[in-house]
Structure 1
Amino acid sequence: MKSWSVFQRKIFLASIAILAIGVVFILTTISWSTNTNSLNENFSLCSAMPETPDSTNRLEFHPIKIVVEPWRGEHNVYGIFAIPLQYKDISYRSKMLVKGTDNAWDATPTDGVKYGLTTPEGYFLLVSFFRTRLTLWYLVTGRFKELQQPCNWKLYLFPIKT
């Protein structure tokens, strides 16, 4: 049997290292997947969110449900927010921020059925998606758990004066 050259041994070791990293990534992702869907039933865990405009004329809300499953592909990292009906018929701009990011994302109305939710009495639902690529960056940098915390997600509504 012919012995391997130095180059072949390096390629073999690099392949083993890449496979090992992939296995660790998959196992870590699977272990986190059991705890990635959070339904925020206890709003008191987050700081109080005013339902009346403050000095900047904005409203703030935390999500009632967060899904963080980037391994399922695009549009599998999102938050669903319950907004009191009194704000349904006013014109507003919406921006969703996640702690640690500078980017803001839009929110769109939903009935919640597609996401396994029923709309709570006296509320309407908005959904806002977080970029999958950015989620993977959070995973690589060890900040993945931050995305699973409802207190780190905020939806801002800015009423538009007519």
Structure 2
Amino acid sequence: MADLDPTPPADAGASLLLDDQLCFALYAASRAVTGLYRPKLENLGLTYPQYLVMLALWDRDELSVKELGATLQLDYGTLTPLLKRLEANGLLRRERRPDDERTVILTLTEEGAALRERALAIPGEIGEAMGLEDEEFEQARATLRRLTTNVTRHTPSRR
């Protein structure tokens, strides 16, 4: 799959053409994919970032805010309003650990756990709309994960 070749062309840094920018291809793809999610998630009463929180909790059922931030690569300032909204909607609980008041633990409510059943079809529907063969999908995901790891290592604010 040539579009996901991890080796940039020799002249990749020389062009300022929009179509030559990997960052724009990533941005456009991200917007297109999140746009696919929007109507499906509206039916669940979730935004895309809220859906990511719920995915993490459906996977583990209990996480600290710190663990969730690391998993989703989001900071407290971004997570706090998401979590407050999900709690207000009755989907999760935020409770301080009795033995460590600094640690906030997130757990699903019954309603939050039940929402998982309504969301089960979404990944398949999105995958189908992407139109990638299984091997292409796995290769794209692996390449994007590697790209994220490499770029994160070179981002000054993450060192």
* TM-score, normalisation: structure 1: 0.26
Structure with greater strand share of residues:
1
Structure with bigger helix share is: 2
Q: Bigger radius of gyration, 1 or 2? A: 1
TM-score by length of 2: 0.26
Q: Point out which structure has higher relative CO (alpha carbons under 8 A, 6+ apart).
A: 1
